[in-house]
Amino acid sequence: MSTAAPAPCHRRKTPLRWARMPALLVIMAVGIAGCDALRMTVDKIRMKTIGIEVCEPDKESAEWVLMEAMEAARDKNEERGWERFQKVLHSSERSPNALRSWYTGAWPRMRRQIKHYDLNGDGCFKMVNLKEMVRGTGGTAGYEYYITSKIKEMPTPCAVYLDDENGNKWRIRRCSL
């Protein structure tokens, strides 16, 4: 029987060095991109995997505009709902022809189907994807949200853009609810 000590194992150093690499990359990413960028990445991953439920968005935020449109579609008084809905439309959607198109096409469909987007009966909706629309000169022009339905397999897109003619507020340009 040999009493000699076993030869040292040098294989351990490599796995430990590589095990530290993801932590180092995260620290570098936070340092380079900042906490906001990391949070945005985490939020996008969360949105695509489980979705983000929107219940009480900040007033005049892009999500608030979508919530207002949904509340308008839920209004029992169609005339009052239509007036409320028009207030959240982008100025590019307020020409007589565009309003007629909304009133005869998208608005009635939205009123019929709105209950499919109200997840829990409390007015909340769920987003599962988000695309940023970028201006040609740089900066955000708008966002296209993808909202889940209780009965449709694919999420429904709604585009909300900053409206220069309306105090740079978020307003709806396209919505297929």
Say if residue 161 is in the same domain as residue 85. Answer: yes
42 shares its domain with 93: no
What are the backbone angles phi and psi of residue 115, rounded to the nearest 5°?
Answer: -65, -20
For residue 20, give its domain range: 13-46
Residue whose entry in the numeric block shows the structure tokens 């570098």:
28
Question: Number of structural domains, the chain?
Answer: 2
Within a domain: residue 56?
A: yes
Segment (H or E) for 134: strand 125-134
Are 29 and 97 in a shared domain?
no
Q: Give the pLDDT of residue 160.
A: 96
- Same domain for 42 and 60, yes or no, is no
Q: Do both 39 and 55 map to the same domain?
A: no
Note whether 76 and 118 are same-domain residues. Answer: yes
Specify the pTM. 0.72
7 within some domain: no
CB 127 within 8 A of CB 147: yes
pLDDT at 63: 95
**pLDDT by 10s per residue, the chain, length 177:** 555 554 444 444 444 444 444 544 445 544 555 565 555 566 666 666 668 889 999 999 999 999 999 999 999 999 999 999 999 999 999 999 999 999 999 999 999 999 999 878 888 999 999 899 888 887 789 999 999 999 988 999 999 999 999 999 999 999 998
Identify whether residues 34 and 119 lie together within a single domain: no
